[in-house]
A and B are shown apart, each in its own frame.
Chain A
């Protein structure tokens, strides 16, 4: 191999300028691949982190994934049954035995769970009426199962603990109603019940629809407003490893029957959008390396063309076809490897530069920086792709060189 390696390197060194240009292609390709993919993966991870932080990992609802069938149909599954004038049982909806479910969930190490009663209501203030979602929560549990406190612009969760007739509302809702903290608002439920609440805090999550529709009050007040005493229609769960949410949700649903939805299921459309975005991103950055690979192909093809006599003489000396192939494959490998070795530091430089960029998003208050992912997988993918492209670029000219018949060259060159 050493003699083949020596021939390969001498060929490249004899064409310094062209070798350098093709090397530059790989260096730039690897660098930009790293910069773009780390930015995209970083932003994706940041997005998912925010999503995971701000949403319940698992939500258990007072409904069933598959509606319960009529008992008669279960008794005679193959019977020809026709039901007429069915009168549904009038019952107050909610999760039966939610307290024991919450207690059971809390026995799992690291799991935090709390019940909630959510319902629609109308808020009236200064002649304006707006539809809102009333989230009845246990204020003491709110910190454990929600990150809302992090987004409070004014007031604290402790205020809600201290004053059960208080309410936390979104800053967007406050802006629409033109109200401030400590003011009193009137809320009317769909049952016709009406109650006044004191605004104890304003929050801004950054999601406009959430900030203008969601409110947090004590669960007992919502139960009273909705005429659903001792009821809860949702259990929200936070777990130590959010990526286990799907499996745990399925397990819970199997055990208690109520629909248990993981954050992944809730965000299925977003997750598939991210996948599409990743596919597009990798296609674009890969194109950079494919273009660079053409540079390598060009150099090695030129070397093969120029070195036909050398190939012929090497074969006449007794070098095998596979030796000739290896010479040119080594050239591709060398360009790829050196390109990666120089491209990775260049990429890290770009990544560092990108991570220094700070900006304030529209409507945002805090300055944020570009989320860069420094995980090893980006480097592994960039290296693997660059090396594959370089080897593929070397393979075709190498195969051509290996197939050259020395006699065809010698006849013409003698």
Chain B
């Protein structure tokens, strides 16, 4: 079996209030390098909440998360941000591109924040990513000049900018037509197959589920099936 890049144990997320709401409860899951997992379940079942926990965007009320073998449970906000910068890539339902920046500038933003590559190297990598995703010729367009599918592909290129070990996507095809959805699905599949990335996708779409290596089913915040690669 491939190396585990994401491990979650006993993950619980409860929103405090007069009536506490449990979003995720006792979730255990593993994700290996080169694995494509779809997280599926009814609306409000806690799929996105689980993804935010796994992406270190939200803090678990209890439980632990290991990213690439590192226990993140004791990390402060800055250390968690550093892991997101170096190890994780996010794709959301909306592309969330910065509207004032061109496609290429959006893609190079994470590289600039990381500050490892030279300007030339960043530009070169950005152009290659956009080219690989079929966006050659659109590099200098601002997001409002791009179609929904193109914008989402720019967002994917941005997620890949720092060569993350794990890509987390929240309904990445939710706002796209069927043709664009198919393209995004193929790209995600190719990321796993060709680049050996681990991909976890929250989705409602059966096609995305069919493209995944494994489906994690979640109901009322509990993983009911597919949490472990061994299952």
- A residues contacting B by CB (< 8 A) are 2-3, 6-7, 10-11, 13-14, 309-310, 312-323, 405-407, 410-411, 413-414
Contact = CB atoms under 8 A, between A and B. Distances in A.
Interface string B88-128: 10101110101111000100011011100000000000000
A232 B213 CA distance: 113
14 contacts: A3-B112, A7-B98, A10-B100, A309-B94, A310-B96, A314-B109, A316-B57, A318-B83, A318-B88, A318-B113, A318-B114, A319-B85, A321-B77, A414-B94
A2 B112 contact: yes
Contacts of B58: 405, 407
B52 A319 contact: no
Contacts of A405: 58
A315 B98 contact: no
Contacts of B113: 3, 317-319, 323
Contacts of A309: 94, 96
Contact of A3 (B78, B90, B94, B109): B109
A414 B92 contact: yes
A11 B57 contact: no
Contact of B82 (A6, A7, A318): A318
Given A318-B82, A414-B171, 18 more contacts: A13-B100, A309-B94, A310-B96, A313-B96, A315-B81, A315-B84, A316-B90, A318-B85, A318-B86, A318-B162, A320-B81, A321-B77, A321-B81, A406-B57, A413-B96, A414-B92, A414-B93, A414-B170
Interface of B: 48, 52, 55, 57-58, 77-78, 81-86, 88, 90, 92-94, 96, 98-101, 105, 109-110, 112-114, 158, 162, 170-171, 174
Nearest to A7: B98
B110 A310 contact: no
B94 A413 contact: yes
Q: Is the interface of A mostly helix, strand, loop or mixed?
A: helix
A319 B55 CA distance: 14
Nearest to B164: A318
A336 B81 CA distance: 30
Given A317-B109, A414-B48, A11 B84 contact: no
B78 A318 contact: no
B53 to A, nearest CB: 9
B106 to A, nearest CB: 10
When A and B form their complex, which 10 residue pairs have the shortest distance between CB atoms, in order from nearest? A318-B85, A10-B100, A3-B112, A313-B96, A318-B84, A407-B58, A414-B93, A407-B57, A316-B90, A317-B110
A11 to B, nearest CB: 7
Contacts of B112: 2-3
